[in-house]
Amino acid sequence: MDSHCFMVEKPCPVCMKNTRVLKTRSRLMVEKTDEDFCVHYKGFNPYYYKIWVCEHCGYAADEKTFLTKMPERQRKMLWDFLAHKQLEFEFKEERDIPDAIASYQLALSYLDIVESVPSKKASLNLQLGWIYRFMGESEKEAEYLLKAAEFYDESITKERYPIGNLTDSGAMYLVGAIYYRLGDMEKCAQHLSRIIGDQSVRSREPKIYDKARDLWSDVRAQQNEEKKKAGSGK
């Protein structure tokens, strides 16, 4: 077992059996953080272990969702689905990339079954996009980043923030940052301008305001560079 992890047993909210899961130790060395909050750690990738999977029935979710009491209607929907699938998930003390991808895909499929809120779908799609980023698979990364941006946009209009540590302004910035990573400067600028144009954000959330302003400067610089190239090509 990797020294950054330790094993615990928790009851599965669907089949109710105790299952082994891995928790990540909190002291990790950060190398850098990307515009969309993707953190690069030294010598270890905690995103591989973000999703807990029941080794008995195959239910998968992030830790908070796994430990939160599930409404009986949702539990029955998932149990009816899983009872016929026999999706036993092999518990491994160390996960590789295919294991990590499979865990996220399972978790996302269960969110679809119970028609979960868009913010949860956004978060998992974003993290799965990061997994592909670490692999250098830019097309798959872009596919999941775009889904994340669309779900966050939906979430901002439908859900009440803050959600976890994320405020609505933080979510707005995050969508802009995702579009920046995707190379869509127009949509990035649309989202960032809504933050920069709101003086209440500047006083209420100065860190988000500053991040939006800094990224806006990068967008403007890139747009100006593209105009110069277009002009010289004429």
Smallest CA-to-CA distance from 63 within 109, 122, 23, 29 is with 23
CA 90/CA 206 separation, integer angstroms:
45
* Residue 217: strand, helix, or coil: helix
Residue 39 has pLDDT above 90, yes or no: yes
| Local structure of residue 39 (DSSP, 8 states) | E
Q: What tens digit of pLDDT does each residue of 63-84 get? A: 999 999 999 999 999 999 998 7
Provide the percentage of residues in the chain whose pLDDT is more than 90.
Answer: 82
pLDDT tens for residues 170-205? Answer: 999 999 999 999 999 999 999 999 999 998 999 999
The whole-number average pLDDT for the span 33-51 is 95
Q: Using 50, 70 and 90 to split pLDDT, how confident is the model at 233? A: low
Q: Is residue 2 predicted with pLDDT exceeding 80?
A: no
The one-letter amino acid at 21: V
User: What residues contact residue 23 under an 8 Å CB cut-off, 6+ apart?
Assistant: 5, 6, 7, 8, 49, 63
Length of the chain: 234
Looking at the predicted structure, is the pLDDT value of residue 218 above 70? yes
pLDDT higher than threshold 70 for residue 127:
yes
Q: At what angle do helices 118-135 and 97-113 cross, to 10 degrees?
A: 160
Quote the DSSP letter at residue 166.
Answer: B
pLDDT given for residue 103 in this prediction: 95
Q: Is pLDDT above 80 for 88?
A: no
Distance CA 24, CA 5 (A): 4
Which residue has tokens 């872009």?
A: 142
Confidence of residue 3 (pLDDT cuts 50, 70, 90): confident
Give the sign of the dihedral formed by CA 123, CA 165, CA 49, CA 38.
positive
Instruction: Tell whether the model's pLDDT for residue 133 goes beyond 90.
Output: yes
- 60/62 Cα distance (integer angstroms): 7
pLDDT tier for residue 91 given thresholds of 50, 70 and 90: confident
Please calculate the CA angle 2-6-7 and round it to the nearest 5 degrees.
120
Confidence of residue 221 (pLDDT cuts 50, 70, 90): confident
Res. 22 pLDDT band, cuts 50 70 90 = very high
For residues 184 and 178, what is the distance between their CA atoms, to the nearest angstrom?
Answer: 9
**Confidence band (pLDDT; 50, 70, 90) for 53?**
very high
Arithmetic mean of pLDDT over the chain: 93
Using CA atoms, how far apart are residues 215 and 196, in angstroms rounded to an integer?
11
pLDDT of residue 147: 98
Run of H or E residues at 45: none
